[in-house]
Chains A and B, each alone.
Chain A
Amino acid sequence: MGRLGKSDVIDKLNANDSQSSENINRNIGNSIIVNEAIFKKVFQHSSDIMYREITIHSQTKLLLIYVDGMVNTDIIISNILEPLMYKGLPQGLGAVESVFEMFEQERFSVLQTKKVSNIDDISEHILKGNLAILVDGENIALLADVKKIETRSISDSAIEPVLRGSRESFTENLRTNTTMLRRILATPNLKIDSLKIGKLTKTDVAVVYIEGIVKPSVLNDVKKRLKQIQTNAILESGIIEQYIEEDQFSPFPQILNSERPDVVAAGLLEGRVAIITNGTPFALIVPMTFWSGLQAPDDYHQRFLFVAMIRWVRYIFTALSVFLPSIFIALTNFHPEMVPPDLMLNIAALRERAPFPTVIEVLLMEFMFEGLQEAGLRLPKQIGPLVSIVGALVIGEAAVSAGIISAPVVIVVATGGIAAFIIPRYSFSFPLRMLRFPLIILSGTLGIFGIAIGISTILIHLLNLQSFGTPYLSPVAPLNKRGLKDVLIRWPKKLVKNSKGDQV
């Protein structure tokens, strides 16, 4: 092939552009100039890709390619460049083969090396923070793992706080996250399968499970669904969730997400499968049931009597958060005889000057409440408290004293709203908040009968819903007495035995 000028090579490449882009499985050539040109073409307009040419004994040329900022330059200098440039090869550098021998023998003191010749593979590795070393006269590149990516350190869980239990939460880095799981579950049975999803992002996704405990059908189902994802980008585990969940139109989430390693570990121990995605601290846990949406991470860490009580408080508040506004409407507007007389008269007294019908009042207040929540969420932290002050003043106080909204409605909406905050899994409160609105309209048109229709519809939907083959309402429907103990009162740990007779 002989030596070609750089410009010639680029011209040639441009001429072959259409052809070469079709041919994805291209390999690099022998000439380092050609190879350099190839990569410069691949990484066009990318100022963060560094090319470092090294001449040793004015003979052999090496080319290092890496992404600036993603590699540990200390390691490159001390472990790769130094042996090559200063110490030289033991007997002076003879032929090219010697360098390659060094590669063969893997004399570089880095942890992971790999030999690859495919251009796409090489460029992908470069982009993931590896160092590519190309040698003149060799059609193979050595990839050394010298990754050093700046990540957030492990911190407290922001959205799943606990009173008792581990404080750490996942970070954006997949490896850090799997490490945390390994630390909790020190068993070789903890399996971490990885795959890449997304044509452009090539996001690392790990399927984590414990062999021997996991249900094989669930595992296979997860893997199958993950492989079927056809998309350019996976930016967050939520995108994966949307691809693999069963019913996109259901208001209920069918996959649990958590940023806590202990929650994921607990899930794995129950035979679930976790899906950890690089770039997000939120891991997915499948299958999910209705009840797991109402369980807090430290339910199992506190003493059982208290947890049993708190669970029931949670169940009752969950029901309140969905049904309270609609029940209020149905009772006051359709069935006033069902309200205790004194209470009814009080409500009537407070409604004397209310300008809107109760249904409209409730809808208005619910709408405002949702708006307040969203505003509080999106605002910069510095002006966050402002929203609550303005919201509480305007909606709670002023609206009532101005006679625009009657006071009982404010109480009902606020109670329902607070009730939704008690739900430990934040994503699980969305369906409850959403379902309020159709129920309000139903009860505003049909009274208690309307609520009955609404409840029946929700129940039928929940009974039909499945998450990776597990009925959503299990163990309540279908009934499983052993599981029921955990749902109703969280039976003491010592007295719970799993199917194999071991203490869980």
Chain B
Amino acid sequence: MRHTAKICFLSLLPLFITTGCWNLKEPDQLAFVAGNGLDLTKNGKLEASTLLVIPAGIGGGQINGGEKKESYQVMNATGKNVSDALDNIQSKLSRVVFAGHRDIFLVGQSLAEHGMGNTIDTFMRSSQSDMRAMIYLVKNGQPKDVFSSAPFFEPFITTTLSEEQEAIGLKPYLAREFVADVWSDATQPLLPVVSLNPSTHYSYNGSAILNKDDGVKLVGFLDKEETSYARWLTNRLISFTLTAFVSKGNGNISLSLDNLGRRIKVLQVGETIQIDVHLTGGGTIIENSTKLDSSKRKDLLLIQKEISLQTEKSTQKLVKKVQEAYKMDIFGFGESVHQQYPLQWKTLKHNWTKTFPTVAVSVSVDIRINDSGLTHSSLNKP
């Protein structure tokens, strides 16, 4: 018995070694994709662009002698659908495209206006797709132009893009969150936006509101400040610098906020739903051009109150704008209703898109100044 088992094993062994499942690919047989972009060309054709890393260009020390190579290459191709376009890119390359390390996914504005539900699905489904990749929408430009813009720090622009959100205090909006938003009952996706400057360098430029119920179509944009408030409302903000005019001191005060929090309370009065949002934050004064002395408790409380009030106003304005102009629940209020009134939600959810603009939302803000920001008294003597 043992003997036969041995013979079987020995005869199977060469089968493994010689045939194996040879999905073995040496790193030098792969073309590493750092970023993918999708857009529509002017005549309505789907165009895919790919940022490929050229390993020989990114160092490797003494190995690559001779001339310094470019560290990346942007490849574009059009096609009938995404697979076809990607296939057309592959046909221009001598190495197998490998998207397992893709950091960035860019969607062109024209594609977003057309609705990107169908096309982006292909990317999200791909087994190589990293759900930790980030999605951006490119305003006033095309993904391939962003890819081609020269990066300062990193060898290619995608790394820069993936670190951008964290650097400005936003919780990175990852592909998996986008997917979760699209699949959720109520929340509408709020994509970060980059746009190209005349100097052909990109800049972060707020965010885009999409309508997932209509093929993930672009509805409108929010600017940078609005985005920060919107992110605060959705609890996707890490830190935030807030500048407000304090009328009593006749000057501006800048606060660096962290410890940001949000509480949503849903009240049902009869048929109507009322949502109370309570925003909290702790901060340090980083600039004070008012006559108020932040080291005095009285003044500090005044500043605190004034800033909270102003933030309340701007937030309320934003909510109103979204409710009236875009009619999209980007704040995830629907989810809160779902959590707090699960039974009622069953009937509400079918009509939520229509209900949302009519919901009464009140925002209260409570900002605490933890640190008056003084190392010595102000040079600007009142």
Contact = CB atoms under 8 A, between A and B. Distances in A.
A and B physically associate: yes
Given A348-B55, A349-B55, A441-B17, A354 B28 contact: yes
Contacts of A337: 98, 100-101, 128, 130
A445 B63 CA distance: 28
Interface stretch (B19-27, B227-235, B247-255, B360-368): B19-27
A445 B16 contact: yes
A449 to B, nearest CB: 8
Interface residues of B, number: 31
A339 B55 CA distance: 15
B62 A349 contact: no
B23 A349 contact: no
A341 B103 contact: yes
Nearest to A353: B63
Nearest to A442: B16
A351 B101 contact: no
B32 A346 contact: no
Contacts, number: 89
B277 interface: no
B63 A403 contact: yes
B56 interface: yes
Contacts of A444: 24
Contacts of A341: 32, 34, 101, 103
A351 B28 contact: yes
The prevalent SS among residues of B at the interface is: loop
A344 interface: yes
Contact of A334 (B23, B34, B64): B23
Given A336-B100, A341-B101, A346 B30 contact: no
Contacts of A358: 26
B342 interface: no
A350 interface: yes
B60 A349 contact: yes
A341 B57 CA distance: 15
Nearest to A443: B24
A287 interface: no
A346 B63 CA distance: 12
A346 B32 CA distance: 12
B58 interface: yes
A386 interface: no
B53 interface: yes
Interface in A386-424: 401, 403, 407
Interface in B29-67: 30, 32, 34, 53, 55-64
Q: Taking each of A333, A337, A345, which has the highest tally of chain B beta carbons within 10 Å of its own beta carbon?
A: A345
A333 B27 CA distance: 7
Given A346-B58, A348-B28, A336 B16 contact: no
Contact of B24 (A334, A351, A354, A401): A334
A393 to B, nearest CB: 15
Contacts of B58: 345-346, 349
Interface in B147-181: none
A446 B27 contact: no
Interface in A442-483: 444-447, 449
Contact of A346 (B59, B62, B64): B59
Nearest to B64: A352
Interface string A334-371: 10110001001111111111100110000000000000
Contact of A350 (B26, B60, B100): B60
B100 A345 contact: no
Contacts of B61: 350, 407
Contacts of B100: 336-337
Given A346-B58, A358-B26, A336 B20 contact: no
A332 B56 CA distance: 17
B59 to A, nearest CB: 6
B27 A336 contact: yes
A352 B60 contact: yes
Interface in A226-277: none
Contact of B17 (A333, A351, A445, A449): A445
Contacts of A336: 25, 27, 30, 32, 98, 100-101
A345 B26 contact: no
Interface of A: 332-334, 336-337, 341, 344-354, 357-358, 401, 403, 407, 441, 444-447, 449
11 contacts: A332-B27, A333-B27, A336-B27, A348-B27, A348-B53, A349-B57, A407-B63, A444-B24, A445-B21, A445-B24, A446-B16
Interface of B: 16-17, 20-28, 30, 32, 34, 53, 55-64, 98, 100-101, 103, 128, 130
Given A345-B101, A445-B24, 19 more contacts: A336-B30, A336-B100, A337-B128, A337-B130, A341-B32, A344-B27, A348-B30, A349-B57, A349-B58, A349-B64, A351-B26, A352-B63, A353-B63, A403-B63, A407-B61, A441-B17, A445-B16, A445-B22, A447-B24
Q: Top 3 nearest A-B pairs by Cβ distance?
A: A337-B100, A349-B60, A349-B55
